[in-house]
């Protein structure tokens, strides 16, 4: 488990030199990405597999991390492609859709994905054959053939498939030579005396709340009320497979809560008293107030934080 961050140190550095603090945090993150890229190349040379599987729970920054890994690979002469497994979602089938114990549509289940097609594509890509990557429109809840794209890997090419279920047995076990990576915000934030200040799961929740509020027309109430099901899905479908990974990657940033704070407080200001997760919010909000703010101008444009606040160099489908 990564070492926890210290709130007193965070606030000291946020006040004294926020730009230097942010730059140092980003450099640490980028060094970890570079190490992953080197590890992937070494594995590829050993096994010949050109497929990388990157999994992690909601709010872990999978998409940006996958893109940054691709950049690091390309810097080393390996052309790399990043593909979201979300593109392989199946249209909702009312009769056959996976269900939760209470009969609701289980949106967290891996059975929502076209597993047969994914496995077929992994195999074909490893053999240098062309596939057609589908595109799923969440707005229309169906595939959009006009946005499907062909992909064929050359001799010095790799593909990074990222998604919450990338390490599930239904996928990973069928492709044992693929490099496997699990990422999540894995560092708590504590006080000098060791007392908990900010839980690692709150960091991911904060990322989700801010992104949903800014870019998905989804208020904090909706995100908070969905969070229980998301967490249950993680415990059932994601966390049990993380130790299949070749590497566990901590995607937390020491300075990020200070950046996300004003966005989150704005989103939380509209949460009514009868919110289902009011108790957690009553814990989270005062914990958040302990952080000194850092302006977004300090955040690099290729930072993982930009996935949630916007203004970054990467595009997201």
The pLDDT of 230-243, averaged and rounded, is 93
Give residue 214's pLDDT. 94
Q: Which two tokens stand for residue 149?
A: 């794209």
The pLDDT of 186-194, averaged and rounded, is 95
What pLDDT, in 10s, does the model give residues 78-87?
Answer: 999 999 999 9
Alpha-carbon span 276 to 225, nearest angstrom = 6
Nearest to 304 by CA among 180, 183, 135: 183
Distances (CA, A) of 126 to 53, 55, 76, 311: 13, 19, 20, 35
The superfamily in CATH containing domain 5-309 is: P-loop containing nucleotide triphosphate hydrolases (3.40.50.300)
- Are 40 and 160 in contact, with CB atoms under 8 Å apart? no
Task: Return the domain boundaries, the chain.
Answer: 5-309
* Residue 95 in this model has a pLDDT that exceeds 70: no
Alpha-carbon span 197 to 238, nearest angstrom = 26
Alpha-carbon span 7 to 191, nearest angstrom = 6
Record the pTM.
0.94
The pLDDT of 105-117, averaged and rounded, is 90
Give residue 265's pLDDT. 95
Instruction: Give the bridge partners for 25, in sequence order.
Output: none
Least confident of 19-23, 105-109, 175-179: 105-109
The pLDDT of 148-170, averaged and rounded, is 96
Alpha-carbon span 209 to 234, nearest angstrom = 17
251 burial via Cβ count (<10 Å: 0-12, 13-18, 19+): buried
Task: Return phi, psi of residue 150, to 5°.
Answer: -80, 150
Give residue 229's pLDDT. 85
What pLDDT, in 10s, does the model give residues 237-262?
Answer: 999 999 999 999 999 999 999 999 99
Per-residue pLDDT band for 274 (boundaries 50, 70, 90) equals confident
């Amino acid at each position: 488990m990564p070492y926890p961050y210290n709130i007193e140190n965070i606030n000291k550095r946020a006040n004294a030199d926020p730009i230097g603090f942010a730059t140092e945090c980003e450099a640490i993150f980028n060094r970890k990405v570079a190490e992953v890229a080197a590890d992937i190349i070494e594995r590829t040379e050993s096994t010949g597999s050109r497929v990388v599987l990157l999994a992690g729970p909601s709010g872990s920054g999978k998409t940006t991390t996958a893109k940054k890994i691709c950049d690091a690979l390309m810097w080393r002469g390996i052309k790399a492609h990043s593909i979201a497994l979300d593109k392989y979602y199946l249209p909702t089938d009312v009769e056959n859709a996976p269900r939760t114990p209470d009969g609701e549509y289980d949106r967290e289940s891996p059975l929502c994905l076209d597993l047969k097609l994914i496995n077929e594509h992994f195999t074909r890509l490893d053999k240098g054959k062309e596939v057609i990557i589908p595109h799923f429109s969440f707005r229309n809840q169906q595939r959009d053939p006009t946005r499907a794209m062909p992909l064929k890997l050359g001799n010095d090419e790799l593909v990074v498939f990222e998604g919450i279920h990338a390490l599930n047995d239904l996928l990973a076990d069928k492709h044992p030579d693929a490099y496997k990576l699990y990422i999540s915000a894995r560092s708590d934030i504590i006080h000098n005396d060791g007392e908990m200040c900010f839980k690692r799961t709150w960091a991911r929740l904060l990322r989700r709340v801010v992104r949903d509020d800014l870019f998905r027309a989804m208020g904090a109430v909706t995100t908070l009320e969905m969070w229980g099901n998301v967490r249950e899905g993680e415990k059932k479908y994601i966390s049990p497979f993380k130790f299949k990974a070749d590497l566990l990657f901590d995607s937390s940033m020491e300075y990020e809560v200070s950046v996300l704070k004003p966005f989150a407080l704005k989103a939380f200001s509209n949460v009514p008293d009868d919110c289902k997760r009011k108790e957690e919010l009553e814990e989270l909000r005062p914990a958040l107030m302990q952080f000194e703010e850092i302006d977004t101008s300090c955040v690099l444009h290729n930072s993982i934080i930009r996935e949630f606040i916007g203004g970054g160099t990467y595009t997201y489908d």
